[in-house]
């Protein structure tokens, strides 16, 4: 009869427990979960590090920072020479 299952069909359809398959599945799931978690934590770290960029500062803090930077109230370029003018031309 078409509705009857033979012994061969039942043995084929029966799912057998295999420890190696179970272990491999668990390892793959664990590695996938850890990878996704690490990527999320990287995004959280980057967001926390860039968060101060999005905060607005008071105008007083901005101008106070500039007045202490140089002797004339503004930013001064860095000087690397010992006070002598730069050499322009050929030495003989």
26-74 pLDDT tens trace? 999 999 999 999 999 999 999 999 998 888 776 665 555 554 455 566 7
Provide the sign of the torsion angle of the four alpha carbons 54, 57, 62, 63, taken in this order. Answer: positive
Q: Which pTM was predicted?
A: 0.46
Tokens of residue 31, six digits: 């590695």
User: Is 20's pLDDT higher than 80?
Assistant: yes
Distance of CA 75 to the CA centre of its chain: 33
């Amino acid at each position: 009869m078409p509705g009857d299952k033979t012994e061969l069909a039942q043995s084929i359809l029966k799912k057998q427990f295999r420890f190696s398959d179970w272990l491999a599945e668990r390892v793959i799931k664990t590695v996938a979960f850890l990878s996704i978690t690490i990527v999320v934590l990287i995004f959280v770290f980057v967001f926390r590090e860039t968060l101060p960029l999005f905060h607005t500062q008071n105008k007083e803090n901005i101008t106070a920072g500039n007045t202490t930077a140089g002797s004339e109230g503004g930013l001064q370029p860095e000087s690397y020479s010992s006070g002598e003018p730069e050499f322009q031309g050929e030495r003989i």
